[in-house]
């Protein structure tokens, strides 16, 4: 069975693109619901993120130790063990007192929202002219604004802002996925009907 490749290089069929759009819409709905949960329970979300980060750091420490001892005679052994210690101290500190860890998470989220926003803005601009590109651009702008808002209120808002702003970002990204997915599916259906 041979397929003709369109000049644009796009090898997906209309059915594949509509299916992909539906998957994007479904993922966006799930992300939006998770965002709403985080907004309703911001303190729980913030503490949960702090605990998750602590657990990941402890796991990272274990991998550093495992690598250091499995490499046998490796000249980076001491530094690898030092890294394991740094990971372990930070992770155990977050696990022991996740509320205090919210201040650190606040600063990490400033960086996350800023990076996420810049990438979504660039993606929206790159897809300019495609269905739904404005939603990506809007989501990026919202993420950058969240980074600024969080930075300005630091540290007094850390107890609730981490969970709330993380939820708003999830909701914003989820809604943009829903709108892009629905717009793409509609555009593909209209294109197929016109052909």
7 lies in some domain: no
173 lies in some domain: yes
33 lies in some domain: yes
DSSP letters of the chain? ---PPPTT-----HHHHHHHHHHHHHHHHHHHHHHHHHHHSHHHHHHHHHHHHHHHHHHHHHHHHHHHHHSSS-TTHHHHHHHHHHHHHHHHHHHH-TTTHHHHHHHHHHHHHHHHHHHHHHHHHHTTTSTTHHHHHHHHHHHHHHHHHHHHHTTTTHHHHHHHHHHHHHHHHHHHHHHHHHHHHHHHHHHHHH-
Query: Whole domain around residue 95: which residue ranges?
Result: 22-186
pTM tops 0.85: no
4 lies in some domain: no
17 lies in some domain: no
For 116-174, what is each residue's pLDDT tens digit? Answer: 999 999 999 998 988 888 998 999 999 999 899 888 988 877 878 888 888 998 999 99
9 lies in some domain: no
For 88-101, what is each residue's pLDDT tens digit? Answer: 999 999 999 998 88
Cα 82 from Cα 132, distance rounded (Å): 48
123 lies in some domain: yes
Output the furthest CA–CA distance in the chain (Å, rounded). Answer: 68
191 lies in some domain: no
For 157-167, what is each residue's pLDDT tens digit? Answer: 787 888 888 89
Q: Count how many domains the chain has.
A: 1
């Amino acid at each position: 069975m041979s397929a003709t490749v369109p000049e644009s290089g796009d090898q997906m069929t209309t059915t594949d693109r509509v299916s992909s759009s539906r998957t994007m819409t479904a993922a966006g709905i799930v992300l939006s619901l998770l965002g709403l949960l985080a907004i309703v329970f911001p303190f729980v979300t913030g503490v949960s993120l702090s605990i998750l980060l602590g657990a990941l750091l402890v796991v990272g420490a274990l991998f550093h130790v495992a690598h250091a001892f499995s490499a046998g005679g490796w000249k980076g052994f001491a530094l690898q063990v030092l890294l394991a210690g740094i990971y372990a101290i930070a992770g155990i500190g977050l696990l022991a007192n996740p509320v205090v860890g919210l201040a650190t998470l606040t600063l990490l989220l400033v960086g996350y929202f800023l990076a996420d926003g810049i990438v979504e803005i660039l993606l929206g601009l790159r897809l300019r002219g495609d269905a739904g590109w404005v939603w990506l651009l809007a989501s990026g702008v919202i993420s950058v604004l969240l980074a600024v808002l969080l930075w300005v209120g630091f540290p007094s808002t850390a107890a609730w802002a981490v969970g709330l702003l993380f939820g708003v970002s999830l909701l914003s990204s989820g809604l943009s996925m829903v709108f892009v997915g629905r717009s793409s599916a509609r555009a593909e259906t209209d294109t197929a009907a016109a052909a």
